[in-house]
Amino acid sequence: MKFWEDKRVVVTGGAGFLGRSVIDGLNKKGCQHIFVPRKKEYDLRQLSDIKRLLTDAKPNMIIHLAAVVGGIGANRENPGKFFYENLMMGVQLLHEAYLQKVDKFVAIGTICAYPKFTKVPFSEDDIWSGYPEETNAPYGLAKKMLLVQSQAYRQQYDFNSIYLLPVNLYGPGDNFSEESSHVIPALIKKCCDAIKRGDSSITVWGTGKPTREFLYVDDAARAIVMAAEKYNKPAPVNVGAGFEISIKNLVNLIVKMTGFKGKVIWDSSKPDGQPRRCLDTQRAQKEFGYTAHVKFDTGLKKTIDWYKKNIDVTK
């Protein structure tokens, strides 16, 4: 608690899905000076706005969560946008943090930074062993540049920047937009909307063969706060739950938990994405004592219940 008492922390993306949980975690730790830049006031793609943010907030720590991101469809439609905007936000913000002598920068990467074919479970040591899966490579590489920059600035300037690699997140308050949501919220919405309309079937992209690992949002936030407090090394750190589930089994589970009784049609003309995703989480456990707490079925039920209550699918 004492560590956070006098910290002035900027949390970019603090009003978003993961950001809200991180803010809650910081509050519980006793952090009294949290600054959340809103896009209408500070456009982090613009250098002048970044400089003004640092002047206004005077942070001694930055937790950079802000990202322009989406599922496979959004990545396919916006490769240039996702590359440019994520790169410009991260690179300029980290550089200005160094120039302004911010004590610590916590960079949040993405599992999309890993090579398409990576030995499972993904070890941080394998992050440079190949090219990312094509549909999300521009996003993954833009975020991956923060790792390069973090390590370069530590080496040359002794700047304390760390880099975390969270796996796919889910939980209450997620993005359920039809255009940009990730797989779990997209499937929940699809099943609930089908129930509401009385549809006899739903169509799901791909073959169902790929596997994914999912981390409950509060677990991810807890890891970020722990690393911000305790981890000060150049090596990247995976943040995950240490398990994987096939997309087919995931669909079956969501179908069952939402109560959808119809047929699932697999559209194999659509891309599967990366074949497998599952992280080796030993480094997080060793370096700052982190392990995930929320069981997948429990987190999934909470997410579905939140959607049904807050989106009001019954009307």
Residues annotated as catalytic are: 139
DSSP 60-111: SEEEE-------HHHHHH-HHHHHHHHHHHHHHHHHHHHHTT-SEEEEE--G
Tell me how far apart the alpha carbons of residues 143 and 67 are, in angstroms, rounded to a whole number.
9
The 3-class secondary structure across 268-287, one letter per residue, is CCCCCCCCCCCECCHHHHHH
Q: What does each C-alpha distance from 42 to 35, 37, 56, 130, 223 come to in angstroms? A: 12, 6, 11, 35, 27
Distance CA 296, CA 294 (A): 6
Whether 143 and 113 have beta carbons less than 8 Å apart is answered as: yes
- Whole-angstrom Cα distance, residue 163 to residue 94? 12
Beta bridge partners of 104: 61
Q: Is 296 helix (H, G, I), strand (E, B) or coil?
A: helix
